[in-house]
Structure 1
Amino acid sequence: MAAAEKALWFIESHYSEELSLGRIAEVAGVSPFHLARLFQAMTGCSVVRYLRARRMTEAARRLAGGAPDILEVALSSGYGSHEAFTRAFGEQFGMSPASVRERGSVAGLALLEPWRTADGASVTLAEPRLARDGTRFIAGLACRYTPDTTQGIPAQWQRLMLHHAAALPKRRTAFGVFCNSDDEASFEYIAGVDVPGFGGLDPALGTLRLPAREYVVATHHGHISAIRRTWQAFVGDWLPRSGLRVADAPDFEKYSADFDDAGGIGDVEIWLPLQT
């Protein structure tokens, strides 16, 4: 996995934290000097400028959606004070956070969407296995995507941990569920955990019941930012040759217990439902 791609993933999934070029470079496995050159060549802007623009973009969306506390938005955007956040926000968009919240829209703002990296080289897929899974109840944060906007998923996980973690059971297995697709190829993605049931949960959380059924399972090894390539090898190459038929039902990614959400390293299983 290219260093710049690792850096992009880390920024997208940790932009609310206090990040420095040195910390991002450490995760990417290169020196700050080399990361700066690689990042500029790939995105056309510096690491610091990209990080600030992404923070401001997500903050603007929250404010336009009616976030009641500007200081909380500032803190979750990596700023230590209302004043510092307001100054940076004004430099980015030419208006104050309060103005964006009052008008309730991001129309006309120079938003920066997550940079989409190249697909890169294919991966060698370990032989998938057949498995049966029992009924599961999934609760988490639900968002809708198209195949061209999935780069927003790391930020969705971050929002779940920042704003909804207290409402979820501790030490549960993490799942990323793809469901509710339409004829335009858009789909709903639920970043969540398995729960005993839906009673008593925060009503702001999305929920989904996965009935017991048969699946075919492949495992992604390595950095999470390369999982798209494992999906391509599994669904685009191995599955058509397998003779198996996938059902029109939710599929999901299941994160291993030792998955490192800070570094993005660890095994992730991809579960595809089979026709019976």
Structure 2
Amino acid sequence: MIAALNRLVDLVEKHLTAEVDVDGLATALGTTEYHLRRMFSSLAGIPLSEYVRRRRMTVAAADIVRGEADLLSIAVRHGYGSTEAFGRAFRAVHGANPGDVRRNGGPLRTQPQLRFRLTVEGSIPMETRIADRPAFRLAGHAARVPLIHRGVNPHIRQHMAALPAQEHGRLKALSDTDPAGLLQVCADVDPDGTEGSELTYLHGVALSGETPIPDDLDAIEVPAGRWAIFRTAGPHPQALQDTWAATATEWFPANPWRLRPGPSLVAILDRADDFSTATCELWLPVEPTPVTG
């Protein structure tokens, strides 16, 4: 995976003024665009789309400072049809107009070219198992919320607080398949993992394929497939979020599995009354990485 990400960075550099064929590269490397984008954003700390934009504007800034071409020619060279559109993108990265930078030489916010390297970590074993599950359904109460990487998501908290107290017991009684009990479900997540992008959050339970879903509940159909299940314990939600991050930095690079599209599930197995600590299971949809060579 480290080699694949560095190949991706090289491809970005070769195509800074054109669309980057991420899907084609992923196929050539024996992986998927979905998995490659998710691993990039997890390890780089920024979405691939944002990295490409910053690199384009870094190179464009050098063109502007050199003063060898007019602003329209530079805008067109970097894939923009007008100086206005180019100026908006330039300001979003550098915080200054192209004309001001040409006159003053700055200020500039340079995005260096990334290079991924393997570091030796993983001194703490990750408690994981792989489960092959038939198709099932998720039923509960759904809402569209922004993605927040760290800390408690206030939009999810507000969604949960709006549910009547008895509704949690009603949902739990409906659960009839694994993962058992009440679940925190994230679906329709941006493959780039862009913070602030919208996702579907569902507070609900898993039902077997034959179980009818009450009319007042939202539903997500989950196809048959394999799941990597990570057990976490400790301060909540920090322990869960740390484990989620470690799946990208430690587990996936060391194991012959890759993410596949689908919802991620969190089952709360045990918790303190104030939810300050919790024992959870994180379910991620996975598929085997094809053997090459």
The normalised TM-score by structure 1 is: 0.46
TM-score, normalising length: structure 2: 0.44
